[in-house]
Amino acid sequence: MTPAAAVAKAADKTDEITSLSYRMRGEMPGDGRIEAEAAMRMEPMAMSMKIRMPDDPEIDGAVEMRLIGKSLYLGGEATAAEMDGKSWMKLDASELGGAEQDLGADTAGIAQADRNPAAESAFLTGADDVTELGTETIDGVKTTHYKGTITLDGMRDSLKDEDKETRERREKSLEQYEDMGVDKLTMDMWVDGEDHTKQFRMRGDADKGTLDMTVTFSDLNEPVTVQAPPAEDTMDLAEMMKELGEA
């Protein structure tokens, strides 16, 4: 099949993924280098991620994030010293009523945590210059490498024929790129023998620097279990705000 058809077939398969593990490596505008490992399932939504930001002097060590339904837990080496020895902070979007935006929780991941990262690669289907660059082996898996460029306007146009749920989901990603000031992306996709995206890379110039992120997938549709941290080791931000309001 043509490179465009191969990319489209892999993009269609992202909607069939029920769970996956992945690792991210790269650079985010304004944040510098980012390294992360994660596992997530789609229904019911749950995700566990460990993230490191070596260039941020305010973050010492890895931060762990767990999303279970609408509850986001933030913990790790960087949090215990600031929370009376407790290792986790709980943010509940339904209880906070949007206050998590003021607390910076969106930058910690709540705005992106419930998205299937493999779906990001589907934007390559909107490129007019998709080419095949040959075969490469990634984590022992033989893949075919494709590459193309696409503007944000092209991404938006590519959503016209999608169903409402897919369109709304991908529009959230578009908003993220717009907030960064990115108007064009160079995208690479590595597709395995089962027409699944094994890896993808996106690069672009943003208002605050360079976006260059590579995401590699594994364990597609394997069971994923995410447990909430112990209640005695968790500071519930909604409860704390409620108590402060009563006081």
More confident residue, 205 or 80: 205
Supply the range of the domain harboring residue 197: 3-246
Q: pLDDT for 2-36, tens place per residue?
A: 999 999 999 889 888 999 999 999 998 887 899 99
| The total number of structural domains that make up the chain | 1
Two structure tokens written together for 161: 């024929």
**pLDDT tens-digit profile of 50-73?**
988 888 766 667 888 899 988 889
Q: For residue 232, with 0-12 CB atoms within 10 Å meaning exposed, 13-18 middle and 19 or more buried, which class applies?
A: exposed
Q: Tokens 């419930």 correspond to what residue?
A: 114
Tell me: pLDDT of 101 over 60: no
Q: Which of 88-92, 99-103, 123-127 has the lowest mean pLDDT?
A: 99-103
Residues 6+ apart with CB under 8 A from 54: 32, 33, 35
Can you tell me which residue has the tokens 């991941």?
109
Strand partners, 192: 143
- In this predicted structure, the answer to whether residue 107 has a pLDDT above a threshold of 90 is no
Q: 143-155: buried (b, 16+ CB within 10 Å) or exposed (e) per residue? A: bbbbbbbbebebb
Cβ–Cβ under 8 Å, residues 198 and 17: no
First to last CA, the chain: 67
Arithmetic mean of pLDDT, 111-132? 80
> Residue 166 carries which side chain, given as an amino acid letter?
T
Predicted confidence band of residue 145 (pLDDT cuts 50, 70, 90): very high
DSSP secondary structure letters along 143-197: EEEEEEEEEHHHHHHHTTTS-HHHHHHHHHHHHHHHHHT--EEEEEEEEETTS-E
- Cβ count near 33 (within 10 Å): 14
Summarize pLDDT for 197-232 with one digit per residue, the tens. 999 999 998 888 889 999 999 999 999 999 999 988
CATH number of the domain that residue 75 is part of: 2.50.20.20
pTM of the predicted model as reported, rounded to 2 decimal places: 0.83
